[in-house]
Amino acid sequence: MPKDFSTMEDSNRSGNASIHDQIAALPLNRRTVIQGAGLASLLGLLQPLAGCANLGAGQPRLGFTAIPPGQTDALVVPPGYVAQVIARWGEPVGIAGNMPAFRTDGSNSAADQAVQLGMHHDGLAFFPINGSSTHGLIALNHEYTDDGLLHPDGFLPMNAAKVKKSQNAHGLSVYEVKFNGQAWEMVRPSAYARRFTMDTPFEMSGPAAGHPLLRTAADPQGRTTLGTLNNCASSATPWGTYLSGEENWMFYFGGGKDISAHHKRWGMNEKGLYGWERFDTRFDASQTPNEANRFGWVVEVDPMDPTSTPVKRTAMGRAAHEGAWVALTQDQRAVVYSGEDARFEYIYKFISSGRMQPGGAKANRHLLDEGTLYVARFDANGQGQWLPLVHGQGPLTAANGFADQGEVLIKARQASDLLGATKMDRPEWLAIDKASRWVYCTLTNNSQRGAPGKPGVDAANPRANNSMGQIIRWREAGDFDGMNFEWNHLLLAGDPANERAEAKGNVKGDILGCPDGLGFSPNGLLWIQTDAHATQMYKGEFARIGNNQMLACDTATGEVRRFLTGPTNCEITGVSFTPDGRNLFISVQHPGETPTDRSDPKQPQKYSSWPDHQPDGRPRSANVVIRKIDGGVIGT
Ligand code: FEO
Ligand code: CA
Ligand code: CA
Ligand code: CA
């Protein structure tokens, strides 16, 4: 999502010209030209370190040459690496007999868009076919749309056909990829190719399935919902499925003048951001109040079975789910960590009752339906506790508005409020170091921390007006199912040259702001991706940080080294490696995103024409696969 939507007040959410002008932006100084001075000295600091156990004696842990901050409309990787663009927005996903070509003027129909890759690529995962590192499937989230780019005439006026095209540009894609010895290519047509849009049926499963709060006139059983919304981060499970988080679903609904306290607690406003509620009554919460309860779940997809029905797993709770990530206990129970990316919201953990069985997706299709959900409390002494979200325990009773366990899960945020969970600085991605059992989570920023009437700093969220974000980590007492943990910060992001103490950070190595994407490579390096908003780039406290980027961290030493910089006003997100660690797939999201006026379809082109740089061509989100020219392991 263009990231500070949650600061916005309700009045201008839908029809008005400027989406971004209400964003709590940093001072809009002149666009700063980043100077090379100082860079050389930074690079000089980054000599390869001595070896590490899992890479073999004498091998450097971080073996690549750091690159400077990005300041052009280009994707840059270190010397010795090659980056290849694949799977741009609007390319056919590969459904046989239905592969309409992309039209650069935005004139593809809604029906075309339903079989083309969606917009605004986000989380992704590579699924090897027969264990291969050169042939597999990519499952991919399409988080949101920029309707200024999507339609020939931009965002306004909205109409039913444009809403349908936007709905078809959301959701998920599954596509097939193969390395031909020289380059990666999409396999088209492919029996695996699939799009999930707002018309795709999803099964609701787990304790809240069928709950009265999930029933609608169109689905009186409350067990089948159409579509998935604002899918952000993702992961692959140990049993071979794809997990995707429904994040900012609330902004697609209009709550009307008499919006309920429940919907309000979730950030819904009188009007939706996109105007969908004016053309599709599902999104008018004054007419269809329970429809919104059918979003905010962790979605599970079996990418290998193109006939499988995707499932919304209610046992893991409803939230502004960034994503969900699985660890296994020694006895093979699934422990799923997730957070919700919103200011002052929470981090969750689910422990399955059952154990993972051999046999992949089919054998484990109910594993995430039964278990216990917990929310995190980070205490000032470096310890923390998981608090159970169980109906009838503590304050989670009918007297406090929770009729049953289903309602606790549907209102997980309200339940977590009552339990005294720690209000975090926008939890984004998580990454689990299975060897050391440390779990990492990016807390991307929180400009309202410490503001009048808002929560103040605490040990886990230690900076007021937190423009830069931090990465927190914890380790459970005992196995991953532990109820207590120790925690600390891997790093506080920032730039030591900043004047404001809270924006300096303590990064050892290359500076960054707003960590978001996160993931371990097979060789144990932690990869960090950033999402500073377009209103921040090159300005104020971000003057020296440059375009959004990807960095590698050696968690043993804390050293951070810049690996990739993206084109202008994009976000770098999505991180997945082939099993051999020699190919890295990422998403470049919203190149050229305008910091000002989205109603003008030409606006994004003012900032970016990536990746194809054609005159008048629309910038396009895309996947990028990165290899080492010598075929080696990425990062070494
Ligand atoms: Fe979709 Fe929290 O980023
Ligand atoms: Ca995003
Ligand atoms: Ca994100
Ligand atoms: Ca973000």
Does an H or E element contain 52, and which?
A: none
Q: How far is the CA of 550 from the centre of ligand 3 (A)?
A: 13
Ligand nearest to the CA of 593: 2
Nearest ligand 1 atom, CA 247: 1
List of residues 6+ apart from 543 with CB closer than 8 A: 29, 32, 34
Ligand nearest to the CA of 232: 1
**Mean of the pLDDT values across residues 601-605?**
68
How confident is residue 476, by pLDDT bands cut at 50, 70 and 90?
A: very high
Nearest ligand 1 atom, CA 232: 1
- The Cα-based distances of 324 to 170, 432, 605 in angstroms read 19, 11, 34
Amino acid 154: pLDDT: 82
Q: Is the pLDDT reported for residue 326 higher than 80?
A: yes
The amino acid at residue 263 is H
Q: How far is the CA of 445 from the centre of ligand 2 (A)?
A: 14
Nearest ligand 1 atom, CA 341: 2
Does an H or E element contain 213, and which?
A: none
**Mean of the pLDDT values across residues 373-401?**
98
Amino acid 606: pLDDT: 81
How confident is residue 173, by pLDDT bands cut at 50, 70 and 90?
A: very high
Instruction: In whole angstroms, give the CA distance from residue 298 to residue 302.
Output: 14
Ligand nearest to the CA of 589: 2
Q: Is the pLDDT reported for residue 3 higher than 60?
A: no
Q: 634, 583, 633, 623: which is closest to 180 by C-alpha?
A: 583
Q: How far is the CA of 143 from the centre of ligand 1 (A)?
A: 8
Contact predicate 402/415, CB 8 Å: yes
SS3 letters across 90-153:
CCECCCCCCCCCCCCCCCCCHHHHCCECCCCEEEEEEEECCCCCCEEEEEEEECCCCHHHHCCC
Q: How far is the CA of 181 from the centre of ligand 4 (A)?
A: 35
Q: How far is the CA of 517 from the centre of ligand 3 (A)?
A: 6
Amino acid 535: pLDDT: 79
Nearest ligand 1 atom, CA 230: 1
Q: How far is the CA of 428 from the centre of ligand 4 (A)?
A: 7
Q: Is the pLDDT reported for residue 413 higher than 60?
A: yes
Ligand nearest to the CA of 3: 4
Tell me what the pLDDT averaged over the chain comes to.
90
Q: Is the pLDDT reported for residue 487 higher than 50?
A: yes
How confident is residue 226, by pLDDT bands cut at 50, 70 and 90?
A: very high
At residue 558, φ and ψ (nearest 5 deg) are 85, 0
Model's pTM, two decimal places? 0.91
Query: How crowded is residue 260: how many other Cβ atoms within 10 Å of its Cβ?
Result: 15
How confident is residue 600, by pLDDT bands cut at 50, 70 and 90?
A: low
Amino acid 421: pLDDT: 98
At residue 21, φ and ψ (nearest 5 deg) are -75, -10
Residue 63 is given by DSSP the state: -
Q: How far is the CA of 322 from the centre of ligand 4 (A)?
A: 9
Q: How far is the CA of 398 from the centre of ligand 2 (A)?
A: 37
**Mean of the pLDDT values across residues 70-75?**
96
**Mean of the pLDDT values across residues 345-371?**
98
Q: Output the residue whose Cα is nearest ligand 1's atom 1.
A: 232
Q: What is the DSSP string of 373-419?
A: EEEEEE-TTSEEEEEE--TTSTT-SGGGT--SHHHHHHTHHHHHHHH
Nearest ligand 1 atom, CA 426: 2
- List residues near ligand 1 (CB under 6 A): 1, 143, 232, 247, 322, 341, 428
Nearest ligand 1 atom, CA 573: 3
Helix (H, G, I), strand (E, B) or coil at 441: strand
Nearest ligand 1 atom, CA 3: 3
Q: What is the DSSP string of 268-315?
A: -BSS-SS-GGGT-GGGBTTT-TTGGGGSS-EEEE-TT-TTPPPEEEGG
Ligand nearest to the CA of 119: 2
Look at the block and give the residue holding tokens 């984004």. 428
Instruction: In whole angstroms, give the CA distance from residue 422 to residue 399.
Output: 23
**Mean of the pLDDT values across residues 543-548?**
96
Instruction: In whole angstroms, give the CA distance from residue 279 to residue 79.
Output: 50
Amino acid 57: pLDDT: 42
Query: How crowded is residue 585: how many other Cβ atoms within 10 Å of its Cβ?
Result: 23
